[in-house]
Amino acid sequence: MKIYPVILSGGAGTRLWPLSRAVLPKQLLPLVADKTMLQETAQRVAGWPGVMAPLVVCGNDHRFMVAEQLREIGITPLGILLEPVGRNTAPAVAAAANYLKSIDPEALMLVLPADHVIENGAAFRDAVERAVTLVGQGKLATFGIVPKSPETGYGYIRRGEAVANCGDCYSVARFVEKPDAATAQGFLDEGGYYWNSGMFMFGAQRFLDELQQHAPQIALAAEKAVSTGYRDLDFCRLEEQAFTDSPSDSIDYAVMEKTRDAAVVPADIGWNDVGSWSALWEVQPKDANGNAQRGDVYLDGVKNSLVRAESRIVAVVGVEDIVVVETQDAVLVTHKDQVQRVKQVVDHLKSKARTEHLHHTRVYRPWGHYEGIDAGDRFQVKRITVKPGEKLSLQMHHHRAEHWVVVSGTARVTCGEKVSLLSENESTYIPIGMNHRLENPGKLPLHIIEVQSGSYLGEDDIVRFEDIYKRA
């Protein structure tokens, strides 16, 4: 039997603001190691016997970053399914199951969120092998994390009877919502309870059969979204209306809590879902005072804290149990036991129509990235980097003109009917309403400074005529 990792790379990771944002969420960031969490997840199972290339499910806005990050680590995915809207995990996994079934009717799915930490890879592999035995008996397996403390931020799984011919595997007696502290402590005292990891294994067709029985609307919508989906470059776009029509629900609610064949594999694997800043503090290396720090940081009399600097020096003096996170456009300071309230900051930014929850000052595009440097009344300045061989769309703006100055590299500039090459220290002007395009024909990155001026400078003032990334 072949195992197909299905990596779920949705979500915005709002509790890890200001580092995690809608356009660049936590799974696409190097939060714990040098590689991003998506890359760590893909590499975790790469090379295992019988394990195939991963199938990734993500949102449209993240598609090029997902593809680029997998390319960086030498992994060619089986496919990248694009969700037109977020509908929770059940529709996402159902779409993946339909996709896999069309390739391999006997496919086994190993469902992995892209944003989890697993420190003990050997123990995880052992847990997966036990899950394969369960799946061979027609079970739908979930991985229950052996609890280390009475956590209130996780749901729990109560194990039932042992499953025959599968060492340390159990039927699921019940799923339990996130408990209060006293109830969680009672679970640990009683034993037989595990944290619900959100990782699963089952046969693709077996899952779809259960979904059809317990959540037929999701099953129908997912099947239609895949069957009427279409290729877009290297991506598979799920049909928008069909997927949007699906009810939004989790795998747990839609299937696992209702099926009679749910089973749990206890797993002591050094797992953490990195769902908050305090959770990130737990999995990071610490100094003698219990501090986890990254970047240009100065600490004096600080204990048991997380301090992270992204763009400048951060000095913290005489405090304990706090989180300080600095980015170029935002700073978060909170007590470690209040980190769940960070989501309220994001809600506030949304209500005020601000943008700090959406993207950083550096915004990634398939051709490279740009960064805001300065802005004022009727002008803004950006630093633009174009990767070798890439080019922006042929476009025009109704409300702004642009001045481009080449800092390094070579630029091919289309302005109306004229095409010219610009080298270091050369510049050009793009009038309002003029069709234009910027390209990097060289072998080194192209860096330019762009000065925009006009009555409206929003990113939505772009009319695309041609685009190799099919965004037109």
Residue 357: CB atoms within 10 A of its CB come to 21
Helix (H, G, I), strand (E, B) or coil at 26: helix
Q: Is the dihedral of CA 278, 280, 321, 349 positive or negative?
A: negative
List of residues 6+ apart from 314 with CB closer than 8 A: 295, 296, 297, 298, 307, 308, 324, 326
Chain segment 1-47, per-residue pLDDT in tens: 799 999 999 888 899 999 999 999 999 999 998 999 999 999 999 99
Inter-residue contact 99 to 79 (CB < 8 Å): yes
Task: Assess whether pLDDT exceeds 80 at residue 383.
Answer: yes
Mean pLDDT of the 79-94 span: 96
154: left (phi over 0), alpha (psi -120 to 50) or beta: beta
Main-chain phi, psi angles of 404, to 5 degrees: -115, 130
Inter-residue contact 97 to 103 (CB < 8 Å): no
**Mean pLDDT lowest for which of 4-13, 237-246, 304-313, 330-339?**
4-13
Beta-strand relationship, 314-317 and 156-162: unpaired
Helix (H, G, I), strand (E, B) or coil at 251: helix
Task: Assess whether pLDDT exceeds 80 at residue 104.
Answer: yes
List residues bridging with 314 in a β-sheet: 297
Residue 364: CB atoms within 10 A of its CB come to 18
| Closest by CA position to 357, among listed 347, 369, 367 | 347
pLDDT at 222: 97
| Spatial separation of the C-alpha atoms in residues 121 and 113, rounded to whole Å | 16
Q: Which helix (H) or strand (E) holds 64?
A: helix 63-72
Task: Assess whether pLDDT exceeds 70 at residue 472.
Answer: no
Q: What percent of the chain has pLDDT over 70?
A: 100
Judging by beta carbons within 10 Å of its beta carbon (0-12, 13-18, 19+), is residue 73 exposed, middle or buried? middle
What is the side-by-side strand order in the sheet with 400-408?
A: 362-365, 368-376, 379-386, 446-454, 400-408, 427-430
Tell me what the pLDDT averaged over the chain comes to: 95
Helix (H, G, I), strand (E, B) or coil at 197: strand
Main-chain phi, psi angles of 38, to 5 degrees: -60, -45
pLDDT tier for residue 175 given thresholds of 50, 70 and 90: very high
